[in-house]
Structure 1
Amino acid sequence: MSEGSHKRPWLAAFFAVLVPGAGHVYLRAWFRALLWFWMVVLSFVLFVPEELVDGVTTFDDAMALSAQLPAEAQIALFVVIGFSAADAYWQATQTRQREIGQRCPNCGHELDDLELDFCHWCTEPLTTEPGSADAELEDATSR
Structure 2
Amino acid sequence: MSGGSHKRPWLAALFAVLVPGLGHVYLQAWLRALLWFWMAVLSFVLFVPEELVDGVGSVGDAMALSTELPIEAQIALFVVIAISAADAYWQATQTRQRVTGQRCPHCGREIDDLELEFCHWCTEPLPGADAEADKPEPTSR
Residue pairs, 1:52-91, within 5 angstroms: 52-91=52-91
1:28 maps to 2:28: yes
Supply the distance in 2 between the matched residues of 1:41 and 1:124 (Cα, whole angstroms): 51
**Which residue of structure 2 aligns with residue 108 of structure 1?**
111
Supply the distance in 2 between the matched residues of 1:109 and 1:73 (Cα, whole angstroms): 44
TM-score, normalization by structure 1: 0.71
Secondary structure, counterpart of 1:110 in structure 2: coil
Supply the distance in 2 between the matched residues of 1:17 and 1:54 (Cα, whole angstroms): 25
Contiguous gaps of at least 5 residues in structure 2: 118-125, 130-141
Report the CA distance between 1:55 and its aligned residue.
2.1
TM-score, normalization by structure 2: 0.72
Secondary structure, counterpart of 2:100 in structure 1: helix
Supply the distance in 2 between the matched residues of 1:17 and 1:79 (Cα, whole angstroms): 11
**Which residue of structure 1 aligns with residue 120 of structure 2?**
none
Matched AA of 2:23: G
Tell me, yes or no, if the aligned pair for 2:104 and 2:111 is still in contact at 8 Å: yes
Report the CA distance between 1:79 and its aligned residue.
0.2
Q: Could you give the per-residue CA deviations for residues 70-127 of structure 1, whole angstroms, max 9, x where no partner exists? A: 00000000000000000000000000100123x685793534xxxxxxxx5428428x
Secondary structure, counterpart of 2:97 in structure 1: helix
Matched AA of 1:30: W
**Which residue of structure 1 aligns with residue 39 of structure 2?**
39
Aligned length: 116
Supply the distance in 1 between the matched residues of 2:111 and 2:51 (Cα, whole angstroms): 58
**Structure 1 runs, 4 residues or longer, greater than 6 Å off:** none
Supply the distance in 2 between the matched residues of 1:49 and 1:99 (Cα, whole angstroms): 45
Contiguous gaps of at least 5 residues in structure 1: 112-119, 127-143
